[in-house]
Amino acid sequence: MLKIIQQFLKSESTNPKDLKELDPKCNYWEEWEIILVDCNYFGMDDIAGSYILKSIEGEETKCALIDNTNGRSVPIILNALKKYSIKPENVEYIIVTHIHLDHSSGTSGLLKHCSNATVLVHPRGARHMVDPTRLMESAAKVYGGIDNVQKLYGPVTKISEEKVRSVSDGEIIEFGGRKLQFIHTLGHAKHHVCIHDLHTNSLFSGDNFGIRLPALHKQKHDHEIVWPTSTPIGFDPEEAIKTVVKLQKLQPDRIFLAHYGPIFQIDLVANRLVKALNCYWDMCKQAKEEQIKPKELLQYVHKKMNSWFNEFIRSVVENEEQEQIVMELMKADIELNSQGLVFYILHFM
Ligand SMILES: [Zn+2]
């Protein structure tokens, strides 16, 4: 298990009650009526967030939430709603870009407060939102038991079927003067949707347009330092490239990443992502060509992923000391990315 998660499991702060009084860290873009709530993922800032899209019409402020990190985020998101004078019962939609636990595991907790909300999800994810047993069981294998998963991401409980609605590719859902178009996107996971807010021409990409660490940008003054995430088990490098190009072609003015915040130079970021994804894909092809044995695959890919990240980080930090700090932070990503490529090689190549 990853060191950062082990430390978190041991710490006192896993108790969601500790967060009830917390003043949530938010970014509010008034011109688009979009708020980013920092969900304090495993006790860290600027890693994972939930977006609040406020209504732009109507007498009472309503909203839709996009992604919700985990069960610990529920009090944080509720505090954020309060901060912006939105009643929990005025949450119309709880949208999950995909059902990975770091995006969706706050949903059942939020529904206890947001009594009028409907959950919008990809058709392949809907049944796992209604009954999370299988989702939690597979996470239990990674995190050393169901108790650990509940402690890290929960409480995750069943959701009644009538609260969950599948969205089809291209479907437009209107609320509060906004039009949200849902786009099915392969590459990161088979149950992923991106959301195009047509009113502000903003796109919410979940994990399909890379991830970024705002801490890096303070050093380099380059706000578009991104890399692709290839977590198991649905990653497909070829589809991931197609998705980046597909999203780029929509020509959004900005793309809001779940991890973390908005990016504005869409073409530059798309080029960087395609280049990186091609490197990931090459790692897979090389492993296949060299006929690496299954039990040696993870070590093989991890070595390549590690050196790719090393080179990448060296290009974005200022000195060796920072390089080591960032490399330590990235360990979790390197590990998960490698596992995702191994799964792809073993099952789809
Ligand atoms: Zn994901």
Model confidence over 201-259: pLDDT tens digits? 999 999 999 998 877 776 666 678 899 999 988 999 999 999 999 999 999 999 999 99
Higher pLDDT pick, 183 / 150: 183
Please give the pLDDT value at position 221: 65
Tell me which residue has tokens 């600027």: 46
- Give the number of domains in the chain: 1
pLDDT > 90: what percent of the chain? 74
DSSP 99: -
Q: For the segment 123-152, what is each residue's pLDDT rounded down to a tens digit?
A: 999 999 999 999 999 888 878 889 888 888
Torsion sign over Cα 63, 68, 74, 77: negative
Q: What is the CA(188)–ligand 1 centre distance, in A?
A: 7
pLDDT at 114 over 80: yes
DSSP 89: G
Q: What is the CA(208)–ligand 1 centre distance, in A?
A: 8
pLDDT at 1 over 70: no
Assigned token pair, 117? 């909300």
Q: From 248, 247, 244, select the one nearest 236 (Cα to Cα).
A: 244
In a domain, 195, yes or no: no
Q: What is the CA(241)–ligand 1 centre distance, in A?
A: 16
What predicted TM-score, i.e. pTM, was given to this entire model? 0.94
Q: What are phi and psi of 38, to 5 degrees?
A: -75, 115
pLDDT at 185 over 70: yes
DSSP 140: H
Q: What is the CA(102)–ligand 1 centre distance, in A?
A: 7
Nearest-angstrom CA–CA distance, 196 and 250: 9
pLDDT at 313 over 90: no
Q: What is the CA(166)–ligand 1 centre distance, in A?
A: 18
Q: What is the CA(320)–ligand 1 centre distance, in A?
A: 30
In a domain, 273, yes or no: no
Domain containing residue 149: CATH number: 3.60.15
pLDDT at 327 over 90: no
In a domain, 58, yes or no: yes
Q: Report the run of H or E that residue 184 belongs to, with start and end.
A: strand 178-184
Higher pLDDT pick, 96 / 18: 96
In a domain, 320, yes or no: no
Assigned token pair, 337? 């990315």
In a domain, 182, yes or no: no
pLDDT > 70: what percent of the chain? 92
Whether the CB-CB separation of 72 and 19 falls below 8 Å is answered with yes
Q: What is the CA(193)–ligand 1 centre distance, in A?
A: 11
Tell me which residue has tokens 């198991």: 232
In a domain, 3, yes or no: yes
In a domain, 186, yes or no: no
Q: What is the CA(114)–ligand 1 centre distance, in A?
A: 24
